[in-house]
């Protein structure tokens, strides 16, 4: 979380400092209109800068996501930036509309329009932008309204995933419209300053990223195909255990990583943690899909052996750490999937590790539980089956009383976000270094 927090606030501060260093007049504006004009420019620069980063993150650049801490962290940053863009863009629109509202309320006298510049003495680009100003303002306003609607669709989880997936792609089109809006309406004098150079670079990166999104080439270099070989329903967990055979294009994965998977004729890739370790010579993997949304709820009725699969990945950095001798693993519900892969990896490649694995759930499928018990025993992992009805809710306090040397352990959590944060807050508050707590943020909306 520290990495994405630094990037989030760092990008806001860097863009603000850059703009204010070139445009210090905002601090000396002597009337409302002058201040308003500067705020329109500043908020617009800030909004398009953050949108450029959002679009860039949407193409899933592997080198950047690794430095951030994984694709799950990149999507959390993506969400934070989206919410901030919504706020900043609304302020941008409000500042632009403010004179009209002030006149309507009688707080400001309507200004008489002076003669329009004839373009003489202007740079040819400035003259061209001046002619395009009206159109740029109109399309920018409508793009704002549509973007607000699309961002709200993305944030409201009750809206079905298939609608979110289709409408979210439209934001790439909206971004390209706003590129035009930004180029035309940036104060022309700023183009010859660091603000202009930075904006040009951001718009170029964002434009290329948008084109990649619109032509469906996100993750194209990491795709492979395969087929479903087995589908096993786990009724106690309301989940499907799906075994997939790769056609040879899948080059392997680290235990704990995830993949985007498309089944059959679906055009919507969904992220699933891989619940199996990679074994050379065995071109396959297993995922466990919980019935959470409209898409995963239909898989039980539609998916069958022989169905074609498109895989993209692997992604993620929530992987087995063999360098830390004492570890505590905590899974909540379907969050057990990466740990199943870790257990398989330890069985195949033993290591001298002291591990306490808390498998927390109201209940677990007997067949899957038998597999976890067998793997834990063979891997030398102490398995704690924690059932809420029998053991109560697992808290940091109970964990500390249960594990003797918890202060010297690294803690790995995958499950409901609030559950993980409650455990972390207790352990860190009691003395565990915050860097020793690792949490998978498997939430892509």
Question: How confident is the model at residue 293, as a pLDDT?
Answer: 61
Identify whether residues 273 and 309 lie together within a single domain. Answer: yes
Q: What is the pLDDT of residue 399?
A: 94
Residues 302 and 333 in one domain: no
Task: Decide if 321 is inside a domain.
Answer: no
User: Is residue 334 located within the same domain as residue 263?
Assistant: no
Q: What is the pLDDT of residues 407-442, one digit of tens each?
A: 999 999 999 989 999 999 999 999 999 999 999 876
Kindly state whether residue 444 falls inside one of the protein's structural domains. Answer: no
Of the two residues 383 and 98, the one the predictor is more confident about is 383
CA 53, 56, 57, 58 torsion-angle sign: positive
Bridge-based pairing state of the strands 437-439 and 410-414: parallel
Domain count of the chain?
3
The per-residue pLDDT for 249 is 87
* 413 belongs to a structural domain: yes
In 3D space, the residue among 287, 407, 410 whose CA is nearest the CA of residue 341 turns out to be 287
Say what percent of the chain tops pLDDT 70.
93
Q: Note the pLDDT tens digit of each residue in 223-272.
A: 999 999 999 888 877 788 999 999 888 989 999 999 999 887 777 788 88
Domain termination residue (choose one: 260, 280, 315): 315
190, part of any domain: yes
Phi, psi of 226 (to 5 degrees): -175, -165
Instruction: Express each pLDDT in 136-149 by its tens digit.
Output: 999 999 999 999 88
Does the pLDDT of residue 391 top 70, yes or no?
yes
419 plus 380 within the same structural domain: yes
* Residues 155 and 62 grouped into a single domain: yes
Mean per-residue pLDDT of the chain? 88
Predicted confidence at residue 274, as pLDDT, reads 92
For residue 150, give the CATH number of its domain: 1.20.120
Task: Check: pTM over 0.85? Answer yes or no.
Answer: no
The reply to whether 445 falls in a domain is no
Residue-wise pLDDT for 328-355, tens only, equals 999 998 899 999 999 999 999 999 999 9
| The last residue of a domain, from among 198, 214, 230 | 214
pLDDT at residue 34 in the model? 82
Residues 354 and 416 in one domain: yes
> For the purposes of burial, counting CB atoms within 10 Å of the CB of 211, is it exposed (0-12), middle (13-18) or buried (19 or more)?
middle
State the pLDDT confidence band at 365, using cuts at 50, 70 and 90. Answer: confident
For position 116, what pLDDT does the model report?
Answer: 60
User: 146: buried, middle or exposed (CB in 10 Å: 19+, 13-18, 0-12)?
Assistant: middle
Answer yes or no: do 40 and 154 share one domain.
yes
Determine the average pLDDT of the residues in 374-400. Answer: 93
In this predicted model, what pLDDT tens digit does every residue of 4-61 receive, in sequence order?
Answer: 899 999 999 999 999 999 988 877 777 878 888 899 999 999 999 999 999 999 998 8
The residue range of the domain holding 99 is: 2-111+118-214
Same domain assignment for residues 285 and 425: no
Angular region, 419: left φ>0, alpha ψ -120 to 50, beta rest:
alpha
Name the domain boundary from 289, 315, 341. 315
- Residue 293: give its domain's CATH number: 2.40.30.10
Cβ atoms of 243 and 257 closer than 8 Å: no
Q: Which residue has the tokens 């297993």?
A: 286
Q: Is the model more confident about 340 or about 388? A: 340
Q: What percent of the chain has pLDDT over 90?
A: 54
Structure tokens at 160: 């079905």
User: Within a domain: residue 381?
Assistant: yes
CATH of the domain at 398: 3.40.50.80
Is residue 291 included in any domain, yes or no?
A: yes
- Same domain? For 310 and 334 the reply is no
Instruction: Tell me: pLDDT of 118 over 60.
Output: no
CB 42 within 8 A of CB 36: no
Nearest to 53 by CA among 25, 30, 75: 75
* 59 and 132 belong to one structural domain: yes
**103/26 same-domain check:** yes
**Which stretch of 29-33, 67-71, 382-386 has the lowest confidence by average pLDDT?**
29-33
Does residue 404 form part of some domain? yes
Co-location of 261 and 349 in the same domain: no
């Amino acid at each position: 979380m520290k990495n994405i927090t630094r990037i989030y606030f760092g990008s806001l501060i860097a863009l603000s400092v850059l703009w204010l260093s070139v445009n210090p007049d905002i601090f000396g504006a002597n009337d409302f209109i002058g201040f308003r004009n500067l705020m329109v420019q500043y908020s617009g620069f800030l909004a398009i800068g953050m949108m450029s980063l959002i679009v860039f993150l949407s193409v899933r650049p592997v080198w950047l996501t690794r430095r951030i801490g994984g694709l799950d962290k990149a999507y959390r940053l993506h969400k934070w930036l989206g919410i901030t863009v919504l706020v900043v863009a609304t302020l941008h629109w409000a500042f632009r509309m403010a004179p009209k509202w002030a006149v309507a309320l009688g707080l400001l006298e309507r200004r008489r329009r002076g003669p329009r510049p004839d373009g003489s003495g202007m740079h040819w680009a400035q003259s061209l932008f001046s002619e395009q100003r009206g159109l740029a303002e109109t399309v920018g306003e409508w793009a704002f309204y549509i973007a607000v609607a699309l961002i709200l669709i993305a944030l409201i989880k009750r809206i079905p995933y298939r609608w979110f997936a289709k409408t979210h792609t439209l934001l790439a089109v909206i971004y390209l419209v706003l590129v035009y809006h930004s180029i035309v309406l940036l104060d022309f004098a700023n183009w010859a300053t660091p603000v202009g150079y930075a904006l040009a670079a951001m718009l170029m990166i964002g434009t290329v990223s948008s084109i990649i999104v619109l032509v469906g080439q996100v993750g194209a270099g990491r795709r492979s195909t395969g087929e479903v070989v087995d589908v096993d329903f786990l009724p106690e967990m309301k989940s499907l255990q799906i075994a997939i055979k790769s056609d040879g294009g899948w080059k392997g994965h680290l235990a704990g990583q995830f993949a985007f998977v498309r089944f059959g004729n679906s055009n919507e890739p969904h992220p699933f943690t891989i619940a199996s370790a990679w074994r050379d010579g065995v071109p396959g993997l297993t995922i466990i899909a919980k019935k959470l949304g409209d898409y995963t709820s239909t898989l039980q009725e539609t998916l069958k052996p022989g169905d074609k699969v498109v895989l993209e990945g692997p992604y993620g950095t929530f992987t087995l750490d063999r360098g830390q001798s004492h570890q505590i693993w905590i899974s909540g519900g379907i969050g057990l999937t990466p740990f199943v892969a870790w257990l398989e990896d330890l069985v195949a490649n033993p290591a001298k590790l002291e591990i306490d694995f808390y498998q927390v759930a109201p209940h677990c499928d007997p067949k899957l539980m038998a597999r976890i018990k067998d793997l834990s025993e063979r891997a030398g992992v102490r398995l704690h089956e924690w059932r809420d009805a029998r053991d109560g809710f697992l808290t940091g306090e109970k964990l500390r009383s249960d594990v003797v040397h918890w202060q010297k352990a690294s803690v790995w959590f995958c499950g409901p976000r609030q559950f993980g944060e409650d455990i972390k807050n207790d352990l860190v508050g009691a003395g565990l270094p915050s860097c020793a707590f690792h949490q998978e943020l498997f939430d892509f909306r």
